[in-house]
Amino acid sequence: MSLVSIRDLRKSFGAVQVLKGVSIEITRGAVVAIIGKSGSGKSTLLRCINGLETFDNGSIFVDGIDVAASRKDLRDLRRNVGMVFQQFNLFPHLTTAQNVMLAPKVVNREADTRAKAIASEMLAKVGLSDKADNYPSQLSGGQQQRVAIARALAMRPNVLLCDEITSALDPELVNEVLRVVEALAKDGMTLILVTHEMRFARDVGTKLVFMHQGKVHEEGPPKQLFANPTTPELAQFVGSTMH
Amino acid sequence: MTDFSFWVILSNLLLATRWTIVLSLVAFASGGIVGLALLFARVSRIGWLERLTKAYVEFFQGTPLLMQLFLFFFGVALFGVQVSPWLAAWLALTFWTSAFLTEIWRGCVDAIPKGQWEAADTLAMSYIDQMWYVILPQAFRIAIPPTVGFSVQVVKGTALASIIGFVDLTKAGTMLNNATFRPFLVYSLVAAIYFALCFPLSWFAHRLERTYNVAR
Amino acid sequence: MIYKLQFAELLPYWDILLRGLAFTIVLTIVSTVAGIALGTAGASARTFGPTWLNRLMGAYVELIRNTPFIVQLFFIFFGLPASGLKLSETTAAVLAMTINLGAYSTEIIRAGIQAVPRGHLEAGASLAMTRLQVLRYVVLKQAFQKIYPALSSQIVIVMLGSAVVSQISAEDLTYAANFIQSRNFRAFEVYLVVAVLYLLLAVITRAVLRWAGRLVFPKA
């Protein structure tokens, strides 16, 4: 049974059709890497899964919940689906620990002490226990992104969506974030990542989705697809991005 | 003889100034509370609620404060309530202030990056929680200079309350002018006292604006 | 007990309303033109004039911006005659509104002038233009384009503030409203209608200013 089921998804921004009928099945524990050129629709696809973007046709089911039907109850969906952004989007007026424990406290109505414990646990998971009382502005990009991951994890989601989470980082900081994501994958978290990190996609991913002009162009095990792309577009994309 | 008149005039004006200050403070406070509630409505992304708030702001910003004072003064009486100049002035100034403050604060909320809303959205926070814990704390800092700046407009606005009979600094000036026939002196003093009230606020708002811009 | 609003009782007085409306419109137009002229002179003086002039204009601006318009109006109409200068209600109204708008527009236009890049002034100077020519041909048009929205807003604010001139018996729209309600005792209806008229005036003024702006300033 798929955890996330996307069927014939279509979306247009005005006159421009960005998603032209996308269908993907994602099982529990899968690590799905979505790759493709800019404008191929990958970020839009990701943002449809948790309702940040609405879609025109097709369907998305997450853990049996219809994303479109429960538009009013999008909040319930988002308790199960976490997201990490390219620009981190940490709350600048709160400390690291406060950032992580805000949602558990306010949404799940956890008691203060319990929320603090959750925050400590998550920060330990991403290796930033010592930065609990720092403000985001005092952290490096890599550290901020790891806090963002901890913040999303604090809600104990079933699925974690990662929208190009290393694209805004200096190269030397990318690894610390990827290592955290790899650890999550090993723990059995279902991950859907839009990424440009091809090596990570090949080594950690369980399924590769290559998007081209709004459709799924190729889909399959990453190692196999990278070694033997079946379409010229993927071959060209791999050739230009792998070093 | 001249000196005696001067001090009588000045002391009477200063006594009346108390009421100007009280009305200003009370109207600013109640206007702020109403304005905050309106802010939640204005930014709620609920179509009809936003439109209603927009119309409210359009009315109170697009009509003279004097008209609003008259409307409240005569309008409240229609409900059979005993209307005093104080009540009408407080009501009119509250709604007038709330319209301006909510627009100022809306501008500040709009300045918060969309990513903050999205992050709070994905954490399953309700709209009210998002505003209260994430957006407003950040908007608050940006909002201080223009809010302090607007307080000057409120003080100047209370001068119109004199027209419906509220005995504030301006009304006292008019009464003293009628009694002493020394308009040049009386209104100079009235202006001076308003200046003494407003200028520090203006200066402070200007300072805050500079500090904030430097900090950015 | 429901009070029945009787708007029909205003109809006999439509001509008085119209005259008041016309007065307000003309008053606003005259004061706007004069006030902006004053503001332009003031802004230029503050930016390019000697320091003492800058300080003097600064004092004028702060004085006007930190005192209520009604007090300024009373001072001009009641206070000045005591010093020998007697004014009619209309003259006092125009003068007060001009001086008021003059102060606000001095600051608004000054901000626009300061936003003009230094390089443009230097270019003008190196083309052997006089200071006045640089001001007129290079600086002012750019400055006005930049601050046009803020200036338009201020004009509408002053137009709405003109309601106060009724207090010195200048026969504007508010004066007409006061007159009518003292005759038919329908105060709420009269003031509601007049408030809506002011609202329409504000909307139309803003639209006219926007249209004029597009005419004078090409889309940058």
Instruction: State how far Cα A9 lies from the chain centre.
Output: 18
Query: For residue B2, what pLDDT is reported?
Result: 54
Contact C66 B198 (CB under 8 A): yes
| Domain of residue C159, residue span | 24-167
The model's pTM is 0.89
Ranges B5-14, B99-108, B169-178, C82-91: which has the least confidence: C82-91
Task: State how many domains chain C has.
Answer: 1
Residue A9, pLDDT > 50, answer yes
Those residues of chain C that have pLDDT short of 50 are: 1-2
- Facing residue for A155 by CB, picked from B113, B123, B138: B123
Nearest partner of B40 among B53, B57, B59, B58, judged by Cα: B53
ipTM of the complex: 0.92
Residue C107 lies in a domain: yes
Residue of chain B minimizing CA distance to A161: B122
Residue C70 lies in a domain: yes
Q: What are the backbone angles phi and psi of residue A6, rounded to the nearest 5°?
A: -110, 125
Contact C67 B170 (CB under 8 A): no
- CA C32 vs CA A38, C100, C101, C146, C158: distances in Å: 53, 10, 7, 18, 9
Query: For residue C33, what pLDDT is reported?
Result: 96
Contact B122 A52 (CB under 8 A): yes
Q: How far is B100 from chain A (nearest CA, A)?
A: 26
Query: For residue A71, what pLDDT is reported?
Result: 60
Q: Is C83 helix (H, G, I), strand (E, B) or coil?
A: coil
Q: Which residue has the higher pLDDT, C22 or B80?
A: C22
Query: For residue C2, what pLDDT is reported?
Result: 46
Note which residues in 25-44 of chain B have CB less than 8 A from chain C: none
Q: Which option is the CATH number for B2-215: 1.10.340.30, 1.10.3720.10, 3.40.50.970, 1.20.1250.20?
A: 1.10.3720.10
Contact B71 C74 (CB under 8 A): no
Residues in chain C: 220
Q: What is the mean pLDDT of chain B?
A: 93
**Predicted confidence band of residue A91 (pLDDT cuts 50, 70, 90):** very high
Q: Which two tokens stand for residue A172?
A: 């030397």
Cα of first residue to Cα of last residue in chain B, in angstroms, is 58
Query: For residue C135, what pLDDT is reported?
Result: 77
Residues of B in contact with C188 (CB under 8 A): 71, 74-75, 78
Query: Which residues, 6+ apart, have CB-to-CB distance to C112 below 8 Å?
Result: C43, C142, C143, C144, C145, C146, C147
What is the rounded CA–CA span in Å between residue C26 and residue C94? 10
| Pick among B24, B66, B195, B203 to test the C interface (most C CBs inside 10 A) | B66
Query: For residue C1, what pLDDT is reported?
Result: 37
Q: What are the backbone angles phi and psi of residue C191, rounded to the nearest 5°?
A: -70, -30
pLDDT digits (tens, 9 = 90+) for B88-112: 999 999 999 999 999 999 999 999 9
Ramachandran region, residue B106 (left: φ > 0; alpha: ψ -120 to 50; beta: rest): alpha
Q: What are the backbone angles phi and psi of residue C201, rounded to the nearest 5°?
A: -60, -45
| Residue B162 DSSP code | G
* Half-sphere exposure of residue C18: CA atoms within 13 angstroms, side-chain side: 5
- CA B95 vs CA B65, B92, B100, B105, C123: distances in Å: 10, 5, 9, 15, 51
Q: Which two tokens stand for residue C181?
A: 């309600």
Residue C209 lies in a domain: no
Residue C52 lies in a domain: yes
- CATH 3.40.50.300: which residues of chain A? 28-40+159-243
Q: How far is C156 from chain B (nearest CA, A)?
A: 8
- CA C107 vs CA A240, C113, C196: distances in Å: 57, 10, 31
Query: For residue A18, what pLDDT is reported?
Result: 93
> How buried is residue C11: exposed, middle or buried, by Cβ count under 10 Å (0-12/13-18/19+)?
exposed
pLDDT digits (tens, 9 = 90+) for A198-240: 999 999 999 999 999 999 999 999 999 988 888 988 888 888 7
According to the CATH classification, is domain A28-40+159-243 in 3.40.1190.10? no
Q: Is C169 helix (H, G, I), strand (E, B) or coil?
A: coil
C-beta of residue C152 within 8 angstroms of C-beta of residue C213 = yes
C-beta of residue A57 within 8 angstroms of C-beta of residue A41 = no
Whether A and B touch, i.e. at least 3 CB pairs below 8 A, reads as yes
Q: How far is B189 from chain C (nearest CA, A)?
A: 10
What is the rounded CA–CA span in Å between residue C10 and residue C204? 23
Q: Which two tokens stand for residue C136?
A: 């007129």
Determine contact: B129 vs chain A, CB below 8 A.
yes
Instruction: State how far Cα C142 lies from the chain centre.
Output: 22
Residues of A in contact with B126 (CB under 8 A): 75, 107
Cα of first residue to Cα of last residue in chain C, in angstroms, is 59
Q: Kindly report the three-state secondary structure assignment for every residue of chain A.
A: CEEEEEEEEEEEECCEEEEEEEEEEEECCCEEEEEECCCCCHHHHHHHHCCCCCCCEEEEEECCEECCHHHCCHHHHHHHEEEECCCCCCCCCCCHHHHHHHHHHHCCCCCHHHHHHHHHHHHHHCCCHHHCCCCHHHCCHHHHHHHHHHHHHCCCCCEEEEECCCCCCCHHHHHHHHHHHHHHHHCCCEEEEECCCHHHHHHHCCEEEEEECCEEEEEECHHHHHHCCCCHHHHHHHHHHCC
Nearest partner of B125 among A146, A108, A80, A120, judged by Cα: A108
Query: For residue A85, what pLDDT is reported?
Result: 96
Q: Which two tokens stand for residue C21?
A: 């409306």
What is the rounded CA–CA span in Å between residue A48 and residue A39? 15
C-beta of residue C130 within 8 angstroms of C-beta of residue C99 = no
Query: For residue C208, what pLDDT is reported?
Result: 94
Q: Looking at residues A167-173, what average pLDDT do you find?
A: 93
> Within 10 A of A50 (CB to CB), how many other CB atoms are there?
25
Residues of A in contact with B113 (CB under 8 A): 89
What is the rounded CA–CA span in Å between residue A180 and residue A183? 5
